[in-house]
Chain A
């Protein structure tokens, strides 16, 4: 029984971004999913000492990690929030995924009983598939339908 409940512990989620983009994104995700537990955001202010931000991030990871690890979502590969996050990879069970958007965060928050590595893969897939040129997609569907109609 104990093992079961251990398996179901949620992966923690920390969104690390330039300024408070992450906090706004988490509010948006909570508007859709309802309140999220074991989730935190870090606003990286590049005018502050790096060590101060890393300490905040360390504390946030400690707060959200329930034993199943934590997934850090950052705004941009190559940016400071990502670089700071990557520096913590060796310290605890953490994965870093870059380019956070709302579909990615929603997936990350709603499938958190998956193992960390799987959750990171699924969140990436959701983030990618959430990016569409909608007008084009709609047009190709309408065209297909019209073609189907002619055949019929």
Chain B
């Protein structure tokens, strides 16, 4: 299963212990411009990744081509499937990737933590006006929004309005 998630902490316990087993993904693709240039943070984030899971840190501009290459490779080896866990730190990054051609029909809005000026929509998600506009963009494209923090949360997609 390919799973696209927004999580401002990117790789952490909930992702490794719950979303990775839930999706069965063997590849994690982290699209984040800062991280793509910071080898030290990449090394730290990679430490706890289980053996056999591949992790890639990529700049946003490569989202479409990297995903295309990954899908093509998986297509060639159909038995392996195209399972990947795709992570973005912000709504805006997810939107940039989508607009550049990395298309998906479901977006998991996992962790966007509260900061002053944000509106809390559920315990783990707080949105700015810009974030809301971004989520409106996705619903306008027919992308379903899933506000689960961990897979065991109720599957009901919460409204952010």
Contacts and interface: CB of A to CB of B under 8 A. Distances in A.
Contacts of A137: 47
A106 B47 contact: no
Contacts of B65: none
A142 interface: yes
B30 to A, nearest CB: 17
Contact of A33 (B43, B44, B46, B150): B150
Interface in B1-50: 13-14, 17-18, 21, 43-44, 46-47
Interface residues of B, number: 14
Interface in A21-66: 32-35
Interface string A1-36: 000000000000000000000000000000011110
A72 to B, nearest CB: 22
Contacts of A132: 47
Contacts of A32: 13-14, 17-18, 150
B47 A34 contact: no
> In which size bucket is the chain A interface?
10 to 19
A62 B18 CA distance: 28
A33 B18 CA distance: 6
Given A32-B14, A33-B18, A34-B18, A134 B47 contact: yes
A85 to B, nearest CB: 25
A141 interface: yes
5 contacts: A32-B17, A132-B47, A141-B46, A141-B47, A142-B43
Interface of A: 32-35, 106, 110, 132, 134, 137-138, 141-142
